[in-house]
Structure 1
């Protein structure tokens, strides 16, 4: 069993905490040029679009594209925007040959606990130039292991086109009946089912206009949340 970090936005963290999100879709990088094994939809070169994804566009031919989110049995550690107690200090960087600001995390040693933006914490925040320690908003990219409050057990991983997302899948993404609960409204498109339309709106808010129509290959990761 391997544990890997995975980033989620505030609305999706709230969906996880509400117990209504059991899937996530992430773009396959690089996009596969062909597949080996399996059968199904045909790629432009006539090869079957299922089985093991292969990237022949760069590097050695026949390079397998591995899922960065693991395999069934692995664990995902959720990273989210959070608040830490500490201070900033300027330290000399040998690499940059100049001083750079670095955050000194004092949350645990000061007897405090991490806070989370997705939980709606309203804190008086300090700045880099404040002399005394205080609360600082921190990017999910810098979340330490101790601060992670959500662990997910991977139960299934597959690859498919983004637009293959069904209404049931969109609900499992934390949308559908829970769309208002996670702070999103369904996109106004009568040709789509409500949950899929809402999910498309969220996808494009993250990945940009036209990213849904591009219909990339995505990893579909299904998971079960571990009890705290």
Structure 2
């Protein structure tokens, strides 16, 4: 039953083969109806769209993407041992919450969720923290969202030294066995950087279980453990000693700075939690 002031037109919507033409239907925000001044834009629709909306449709299957992610040897070993279940990556460019001059109290901070000339949109907030939370909620993480998968790229070699092609070795596992090619590369062989690893060579597949945004230094001791850092046994015997408590933040700071990051800048980071799944 049409609502009051609801104008129904016979046609006007785009046809399937008219991809870039505009619609005369209010269900399309780019409507170009010739207005008579008595109807609101959103109250105009056509019979074609109404019929489509009335027809029940099966629920779509969830669509999950797969993306690459780079880890160094120490982090690969931590993933393989089950110690690492989360990674933090810096938020970059226009996704960093930025203060803007706005008359609206709710729009003092902005971050770009999707950068597209036509379909792009942003996250806003009255505070920097609110903006960051909205950025995470809208799924702007370049590594994916919950349910998406990440295949790990690591330093590797495709060739069995002195042997046949098609055998992959990974630097995180240590040097080549001395029983294979004398444990040394030939003149034409070397370790290949992780950035050049093809999908077929990846041995680790991760499924994202959660994504959030936070400051780098807001990490807790348990989160540092989940990052794959384990306190030395000689300190782990006493959970309350200053040496034990201080070891984790110091180790995390050292690890972050070793990747080219700046701990003291306390940047906003993507916190990507994951679990290992069968490739």
TM range (shorter): 0.5 to 0.7
Q: CA deviation at 1:53?
A: 3.2
Closer/same/farther in 2, CA of residues 136 and 191 from structure 1, 3 Å limit: closer
Higher relative contact order (CA 8 A, sep 6+): 1
Q: CA deviation at 1:18?
A: 0.8
> Which of 159, 182, 192 does residue 85 from structure 1 map onto?
159
Could you state the TM-score of these two structures normalised by the residue count of structure 1? 0.68
CA distance in 2 between partners of 1:117 and 1:218 (Å): 28
C-alpha contact (below 8 Å) 1:176/1:198 kept by paired residues: no
Correspondence list, 1:1-228, <5 A: 1-30=64-93, 31-33=96-98, 34-35=109-110, 36=123, 42-43=127-128, 48-53=130-135, 66-85=140-159, 110=164, 112-122=166-176, 123-128=183-188, 135-177=189-231, 193-208=246-261, 211-227=262-278
Larger radius of gyration: 2
CA distance in 1 between partners of 2:246 and 2:226 (Å): 14
Could you state the TM-score of these two structures normalised by the residue count of structure 2? 0.56
Q: CA deviation at 1:68?
A: 1.1
Q: CA deviation at 1:48?
A: 2.8
List gaps (5 residues or longer) in structure 2. Answer: 1-63, 99-108, 111-122, 177-182, 234-241
Q: CA deviation at 1:201?
A: 1.1
More strand by share: 1
Q: CA deviation at 1:49?
A: 4.3
The answer for the alignment partner of 2:24 in structure 1 is: none
CA distance in 1 between partners of 2:217 and 2:276 (Å): 26
More helix by share: 2
CA-atom RMSD, angstroms?
3.0
Consecutive aligned runs of 4 or more in structure 1 exceeding 4 Å deviation:
189-192
Closer/same/farther in 2, CA of residues 38 and 73 from structure 1, 3 Å limit: farther
The answer for the alignment partner of 2:20 in structure 1 is: none
CA distance in 2 between partners of 1:191 and 1:214 (Å): 25
